[in-house]
Amino acid sequence: MPLSNSLAPFFSPRGIAVIGASHNPTKLGYGLARNLVQSNYRGALHFINPRGGSLFGRPIIPSVSAAPDPVDLAILLIPAVGIPPVLEECGRRGLRAAIIASGGFRETGPQGAQLEKDCLLVAQKYGMRLMGPNCVGLLDTHLPLDATFLPPPGPPPGDVAFISQSGAICAAVNDWARGQGFGLSRLVSLGNQVDVTETDVLAPVAADPYTHVLTLYLEGVSDGRRFVEEATRVAQSKPVIALKVGRFASGQRAVTSHTGALAGRESAFNAAFRRAGVIRAETSEEMFDWARALAWCPLPKGRSMTILTNAGGPGVTAADALESNGLTLANLQESTQGALSSILPSAASLHNPVDMLASASPEQYASCLEILLADDGINGVLVILPPPPMYTAGAVAMALIPVIHSASKPVVIALMGERLIQEAVEHFRAAHVPEYRFPERAASALAILARRAEFLAQVGSSPALTRSKKRKGLKATQAILDEYHSSAGTGTRETAKDNNFLPTEIASRILHAYGIAVPESGLARSPDEAVILARQIGFPVALKIASPLVLHKSDIGGVLLNLSNESSVSQGFADLIKATPLSQPGQEIQGMLVQKMIPPGQEVIIGAIQDAQFGALVMFGSGGIEVEGLKDVEFALAPLTPAEAESLLDSTWAGRRLNGYRNMPSADRKAVLNSLLRFSHLAADFPQFEEIEINPLRVLPEGNGAYALDIRICLNA
């Protein structure tokens, strides 16, 4: 029987059977039973243990078969070896969901891994969904339901959901959230994910009306493509923040291009998160800093922010922090400065940051904030509040809260200090106003709000090629490949076939089919053929050795440029044959590529690899011979949207430089974007192309186009 897609029994169970409930307060089965009772779960609750007796005033039933209706969720906390037969009993009883909280599975070795497979086979037999094993369960503070064995008290009801692949992190967050003054809506511990995965729970958790933000602790994803699809849908309605760990893991596969050398597992995750709209946090603290701001603040309409402070030093710190996070300091309108001057001392600073001086009263804080929020050029405010010398921080907080609640712009607080600010801490937390100990954290939260607003503004953007253009390129490329493969056995493609690289002339035709400009060229196998081709193409020309395993032709002297007559071409052919002996078998020179010389310009690289998890991954950055040294590259999932292509250019020096730099004129940015978009569709359309690389793509002055000078396409082995 196929697995059911419904996860409803996990999140809204009518009845729960705790298999392994224990009288012993030192056992996890006791803690689980205690939490379910103390959470005031309103559904039917059945404690299962062959020893019988009673627990928390409820009878202990000897088996799940004897449990009365309703019961649609089982939670198992018994030794791992006993779980498969108990799951069999649950399946016969009609249960369609089970949480295996017990450990002792694949994390312990081969025997445990086999036990895990046995559990899945039973679940598949009965159409039962499994969460875990080796997890701490789940909780819903609003249902209410605490189906974990974590020590009480649990987190207060809130609006941030936490989904974790680590049970220990769940335990820490469970306690830390209460100490930090924010509540959780749901907590889901996934454990080994034998069945239910991080992707499965995204939609049901996001559908919870009490959940405003989803946070994820990830060590990996089970199905990258499906994760991106599901996260994209969820992120359009609710923010998703991920803390992805293990980013420095080794074991990168062997690669044959710059793109492959520079792409890693984390490049793919970063690209996947950007595509889906998932915000990636660097630390646990950062994740929950951002979650509070996203849950409690309106989104800004731009990146121009203002700082309101009673001290100069923290104001300058905040200004640096805002700019380092990609925000700008707003210019205050004259009317705003006039209104501020009417209520502040003459020595106060009326520019941004607005420094009210140390004597600022609660009323001045509130009035100045109102004035700043009314300025149309201000998109948000960072308020700095160290302990005031003449007033209490709590009094300032109480004055600010009504202004913040009535605002349509975000306000975050840098509440600096410790003992003297505790009253203000409690006031802000109770009012759901995000407060942070230092300006840097507050600035980071404002930046995330701006980023979320920009993501929502781009929702609905789709890959750029029209259906007809895409179909034309795909059809033409397939015909080229069919023709190429049909030539097998003729002796014309033996070397390229053995090394999985398409001949340069085939790669050029494929790029041309997708509308990417390639200089006119041809393969010559003798000096006379080279001269004939050069005459047809038109002087000047370049000569490049043609051998599928030569990654970098210029490194071995395999390129001659600006050959302007027949004799230089003929002599150049002979010189390159002598000057570039190839030492390894199979590296014989197939001939010389004769190529039309393209005028000087800026050089960039465009590449693509097929990532095992996420599919085609596109790279853009600084090209030429220094690409791996500079590492000025960014990655994105293919196919690209116009906005994603623009972002790739804007996030690299190579892309920004296209606009001109010092004495360097602007280059044809539009042609680069067009090439990048078309290239991304090629990479997505043909997953059999393991690696594709254009290095360099030469970009001519504005309006003159961009040309792929060197092309490599490697087929899957």
User: Element (H or E) spanning 262, and its range?
Assistant: helix 258-262
Query: Where does 165-212 show beta strands of DSSP type E?
Result: 184-189
**What DSSP state is assigned to residue 332?**
P
Predicted pLDDT at 487: 77
If we measure between CA atoms, which residue out of 535, 536, 538, 533 comes closest to residue 546? 533
Q: What does DSSP say about strands 54-55 and 73-76: parallel, antiparallel, or unpaired?
A: unpaired
What DSSP assignment string belongs to 551-583? S-GGGGT-EEEEE-SHHHHHHHHHHHHHH----
Contact 273, 228 (CB under 8 A): no
Q: How far apart are CA 88 and CA 22, in angstroms?
A: 22
Residues 458, 511 contacting (CB under 8 angstroms): no
Options 2.30.30.40, 3.40.50.720, 3.30.1490.20, 3.40.630.10; CATH of 520-597: 3.30.1490.20
Asked if CATH classification 3.40.50.261 holds for the domain at 298-458, the reply, yes or no, is: yes
Q: What is the mean pLDDT for each group of 10 consecutive residues in the chain (717 residues)? A: 67 97 95 96 96 94 94 97 97 96 94 96 96 96 96 92 94 86 94 96 97 96 94 97 78 47 76 96 95 98 98 96 97 97 96 96 98 98 96 97 98 96 96 96 98 90 62 90 76 49 90 95 91 94 79 73 93 85 56 91 95 94 74 92 93 93 89 97 95 95 95 88
- Give the integer Cα–Cα distance in Å for 507 and 550: 15
For the 462-518+600-717 domain, the top CATH level (class) is alpha beta
The domains spanning 1-133 and 462-518+600-717 adopt the same CATH topology: no
Between the two ends of the chain, the Cα-to-Cα distance in Å is 36
Q: Are strands 328-329 and 304-309 parallel, antiparallel or unpaired?
A: parallel
CATH of domain 1-133: 3.40.50.720
CB 100 within 8 A of CB 150: no
Note the residue count of the chain.
717
CB atoms within 10 A of CB 341: 12
pLDDT recorded at residue 581: 60
pLDDT number for residue 608: 96
Query: Containing H/E element for 700?
Result: none
With a CB cutoff of 8 Å and minimum separation 6, the contacts of 617 are 263, 267, 268, 271, 608, 609, 610, 611, 635, 636, 637, 638, 683
Question: Can you give the pLDDT at residue 252?
Answer: 43
Strands 73-76, 97-100: pairing kind: parallel
Task: Tell me the sheet residues that pair with 233.
Answer: none
Q: Based on C-alpha coordinates, what's the Rg of the chain?
A: 32
Give me the CATH topology for the region 135-280: Rossmann fold (3.40.50)
List all residues 6 or more positions away from 477 whose beta carbon is below 8 Å from its beta carbon: 510, 513, 514, 682, 685, 686
- Exposure string of 59-98, with b = 16+ CB inside 10 Å and e = fewer, is ebbeebeebeeebbbbbbbbebeebbebbbbbbebebbbb
Strand, coil or helix: 618: strand
Domain boundaries, the chain: 1-133, 135-280, 298-458, 462-518+600-717, 520-597
Q: What DSSP line would sit under 631-687, residue for residue?
A: --EEEEESSPPHHHHHHHHHTSHHHHHTT-BTTBPPB-HHHHHHHHHHHHHHHHH-T
pTM (2 d.p.): 0.89
**Are residues 378 and 408 in contact, defined by beta-carbon separation less than 8 angstroms?**
no
Q: What does the block give as tokens for 361?
A: 């009263």
The CA distance from 52 to 486, in Å, is: 74
What is residue 407's predicted lDDT score, i.e. its pLDDT?
Answer: 97
Are 586 and 500 contacting, i.e. CB atoms less than 8 angstroms apart? no
Do 308 and 382 contact (CB within 8 A), yes or no?
Answer: yes
CA gap 65, 50 in Å, rounded: 12
Tokens of 109: 């070795």
Question: According to the 3-state scheme, what is the secondary structure of 14-83?
Answer: CEEEEECCCCCCCCHHHHHHHHHHHCCCCCEEEEECCCCCEECCEEEECCHHHCCCCCCEEEECCCHHHH
